Amino acid sequence: MGKIVLAYSGGLDTSILIRWLIEKYDAEVVTVTVNVGQREDLKALEEKALKIGATRHYSIDARREFAEKYLWSAVKANALYQGKYPLSTALARPLIASKLVEVARREGAEALAHGCTGRGNDQIRFDITLKALAPEMKVIAPVREWNLSREEEVAYARDRGIPIPSKDKPYSIDQNLWGRSIECGPLDDPAAEPPEDAFEWTVKPEEAPDQPQYVTIGFEKGIPIALNGREMEAVRLIEELNSLAGSQGVGRIDHVEDRVMGLKSREVYECPAALTLIEAHRDLEKLTLTGRELSFKHLVDLEWAWLAYAGLWVHPLREALEAFIEASQERVTGEVKVKLYKGSLTVVGRKAQKPVHDLTLTTSRLMEALDQALARGFIEHWGLQARACMLEKVEGKPKESLTD
């Protein structure tokens, strides 16, 4: 091969892959690091990749695109996989894959490579997106094909003088704007409480301030646009809310997750802003959407989250579901007040520009305006079928008894 474009994170796997791809395919290796908010020294990563043997390196700042095109879509879809995980890692993968393809076409590359193993979900997310966007290019997953243990990878790196990242903690960590994923080490035991050193974005709830923190989030057509009355662009809003909610111990997630490959895995996450924004958005929808809209949208949201988790971002069904979601957000404009206190997240107030009911009417005044006598006829019709079935089941009476 003439040239291979590699998704480069700077870790052990992708660092040894630079040399492995050169040796295996006698090819030039171009590395790409996509900044989605992982808080790393991108200049140091570039220098490391070039030192190992990459012929060229790209550092792409995609934080704004990630927030506006991926994370805001997730908010509008109230996206929580299995009701808990805000899809932080899953949402970043199709974006990174699309940037790899852009670089590969610019460089005239013949193949794309990533450092995913054959056990997790990321290989699916990368492979499917890459093959959909660049069907003419070969996709290489050396870690999956090579099947080396970490000990063997370390030995390979030492033999070739490749710097080995220091590991002061026994965890595998992936992070971006939307959250921090922590795996391995003591977390492998689902019965063990996560050690406190696994967390960085959130304080221990018991040690959070004794006074609650209130935040007000402004939405326009389902998109977060303001925090505590100040309009903000997407990246800054997410970063500030991560800090605010995390300082109150909000955002920790610990659950057993069903991976696409059929495995169950204990997963620990920190997602302060994601959980806060999704909860606030979902609450505002209750004020602005009808009951039937909410019921149907719940099904749509579940499927949207599954597609994003399962690596099917390029599936036409996601685009179709998103068309409905976008239409449903026309009235989702307003403010939501959230109370953050010692790890808890509670919506304590909301107002909307176009609520389903006129909120100038109190409940008592609204009841006075209705003719309560009409309720009797409605109830007779509403429960007709249920009563008919119950009569036959419990008393054995014919349905005609309903007219007695």
Note the pLDDT tens digit of each residue in 307-324.
Answer: 999 999 999 999 999 999
**Mean pLDDT for all residues in the chain:** 92
Q: What is the mean pLDDT of residues 118-124?
A: 90
The Cα–Cα gap between 238 and 247 comes to 14
Backbone phi, psi, residue 154, to 5°? -65, -45
Which pLDDT does position 372 carry in this prediction?
79
- Which of 159, 191, 209 marks a domain boundary? 159
Q: What is the mean pLDDT of residues 169-197?
A: 92
**Is this prediction's pTM over 0.85?**
yes
Checking if the pLDDT of 398 tops 80, the result is no
Two tokens at 60? 């792409």
Together in a domain, 181 and 319: yes
Q: What is the mean pLDDT of residues 326-344?
A: 98
The confidence band for 404, taking pLDDT boundaries of 50, 70 and 90, is low
Assigned domain for 83 exists: no
More reliable by pLDDT, 263 or 74 = 74
Backbone phi, psi, residue 232, to 5°? -140, 150
What are the beta bridge partners of residue 214? 339
Domain of 145, CATH number, reads 3.40.50.620
Domain of 204, CATH number, reads 3.90.1260.10
Assigned domain for 167 exists: no
* 276: Cα within 13 Å, side-chain hemisphere: 39
The Cα–Cα gap between 304 and 123 comes to 20
Q: Is 253 helix (H, G, I), strand (E, B) or coil?
A: strand
More reliable by pLDDT, 404 or 241 = 241
Residues marked active site are found at 13, 93, 122, 172
Exposure string over 213-228, b if 16+ CB within 10 A, otherwise e: eebbbbbeebbbbebe
Q: What is the mean pLDDT of residues 269-288?
A: 98
> In this structure, how many other beta carbons lie within 10 angstroms of the beta carbon of residue 19?
19
Two tokens at 167? 């590991």
Residue-number span of the structural domain to which 181 is assigned: 172-352
Q: Determine contact, residues 77/213, Cβ cutoff 8 Å.
A: no
Q: What is the mean pLDDT of residues 194-223?
A: 97
Together in a domain, 285 and 375: no
Checking if the pLDDT of 217 tops 60, the result is yes
CA 328 to chain centre: 20
The Cα–Cα gap between 385 and 97 comes to 54
User: Would you give the end-to-end CA distance of the chain in angstroms?
Assistant: 86
**Total domains present in the chain:** 3
Beta strands in 199-240 (DSSP E): 213-220, 223-227, 230-231
Checking if the pLDDT of 247 tops 90, the result is yes
Assigned domain for 166 exists: no
